[in-house]
A and B are shown apart, each in its own frame.
Chain A
Amino acid sequence: MSTVTDRTVSTPTPTTRTGVKRSRLLGSRSSVLVLNAISIIGGIGLWWVLALNGFQLPTPPEVLEKGIALAQQGILVEDIAASLGRVLSGFLLGSALAIPVGFLMGWYTIGRGLLEPWIQFFRTIPPLALLPLVLVLLGIGEIPKIFVIFLAAFLACVISTYQGVVSVDRTMLNAARVLGAKDGTIFARVVVPASTPFILVGMRVGLGSSWATLVASELLGAQRGIGARMQAAQIYYDLATIFVGIVLIGIFGLVMDRLLLLAESKLTGWQERR
């Protein structure tokens, strides 16, 4: 069942997803880690071989050297700080707004009726496609960049929160009602906890989306930031710097995703594993 559900379930069903992941890990944690290590080393080896055989790639040591050099000049820290600042503020603002809006849509017919068309419409537009417009309207400072990231995070998270609210088990709501709970209590003590897994899935998707949007938005007129650094390097044909950027983006994306995954397992550990 594992791969099938993983692939075909487009709307997140957090229970099965985490359940599958966990059972795989439980199965043979160490052997998976060994395979991971082999795969990583093999991949880097392949890269090295290709770099030495005429492909226009910097070798792994060159990239490492470049990274160290950039770090020593303090450029790297500045870029990372600028990028992380943007992505985190956009992501946090987006999620913070998405959660109440998602609840509003899921819980009130009025909210759903009024908001859904807009959400569905903007969801089909990649946030980056709005960048030209945003740049015209908001200028070229920090605000347009944060805004598109905000939009990316918001749209991913709002849909998921909404789905979480509408898919709360009816029997669970009825159980709360027959125990004397009124709407407010049901919302706070049943709907919110029951949709937490969905919200967290939405936040993870939102984070990925924010991160992707960030780099692209920095490619368009930024002084600092990992994306801006790569853009500048492109002009000088500085492939090593571009590689440093790619590796950093990957590493930070992975770390942030893992942090959210950790939060997820802490907050939604009550879910049945099937």
Chain B
Amino acid sequence: MSDTTTDRRGATASPKISVRDVKKTFTLKNEEFVALGGVDLDIADNEFVTVVGPSGCGKSTLMNILAGLDEPTAGEALVDGVAVDGPGPERGVIFQQYALFPWLTVRQNVEFGLKTAKVPRAERRERADYFIRMVGLEQFADALPKMLSGGMKQRCAIARAYAVNPSILLMDEPFGALDALTRVKLQEQLLDTWSQEKRTVMFITHDVDEAVFLANRVVVMAARPGRIFDVIDVNLPYPRTEDVRLSPEFGELRNRVWHSVYHQSTATAGSSDHRTASSSPTT
């Protein structure tokens, strides 16, 4: 496989998200570090894309650029054909560390974005309650985050992101800190809400199973420099039930993704960055 990072499916008619040769370098003590070395990716409207790859390969960096929290060194990120310039309410972000406001109750957290959008009080309340119900936190609407478990916090963060009705959801390892059981539940719940209210989702994860289970398409990244290594289509039907999870097709895809993530050095044998990719762990 060459080190070109073109999305093999080619561009769809009008991609919702479009990343064009995005590069990102960080300068650390007058040493340049290439976090992203030319990434091209198109994500179609209502598509669910998962991104996997070794630690430090630039997944979060890519997401931050799409979220408008960080700027690319070169190239551009387009949303609906318009270059990203700062964060916007049409792009909801869910962080790995929940990032709830600890001094606000669950309901106030969910209302935060509505308040900044100056949604009138009554409507705000109604919408917040709707999404709190959606994630099953209605009994904790008036609780502070410190009283919630990790999974509940993450559900609250999901409700908060959904409440402003973004057409894009960017999720950075949102279930990373959760136990397996909660994780599976939230995955199913996420797909449930996604099929009810279609949105374009970019979901970063470390977990190969999770990547395959959720996605229309799995993007595998590689490190040093951060780049897209492989794109694997997941042609499994939704809703993704337990049967799907246990099917041989799922297993096959899972193996492919697994191989792509964990045997990048053998697969890239011959490419110029082979040595750096396989040696020295990333930060």
Contacts and interface: CB of A to CB of B under 8 A. Distances in A.
A174 B113 contact: no
B70 to A, nearest CB: 10
Interface SS majority for chain B: loop
Contact of A177 (B87, B97, B103): B87
B156 to A, nearest CB: 12
Interface of A: 169, 171-172, 174-182, 185, 189-190, 193-194, 196, 270-273
A170 to B, nearest CB: 9
A272 B102 CA distance: 8
Interface residues of B, number: 27
Interface string B152-192: 00000000100010000000000000000000000000000
A65 to B, nearest CB: 50
Given A179-B113, A185-B116, A190 B87 contact: no
Given A190-B101, A271-B146, A175 B95 contact: yes
B102 A175 contact: no
A169 B100 CA distance: 11
Interface SS majority for chain A: helix
A185 B113 CA distance: 11
Contact of B102 (A176, A179, A271): A271
B146 A270 contact: yes
B93 A174 contact: yes
Among B113, B116, B146, the one with the most A-chain Cβ atoms within 10 Å of its Cβ is B116
Interface in B92-106: 92-93, 95, 97, 99-104
A178 B67 contact: yes
Nearest to A181: B116
In order of increasing CB-CB distance, the 6 nearest A-B pairs are A179-B113, A175-B99, A178-B93, A270-B103, A180-B116, A171-B99
B117 interface: yes
B10 to A, nearest CB: 30
Contact of A270 (B86, B102, B117): B102
A271 B97 CA distance: 16
B112 A176 contact: yes
A147 B267 CA distance: 73
Contact of B160 (A179, A189, A271): A179
Given A171-B97, A272-B146, A273-B146, A178 B92 contact: yes
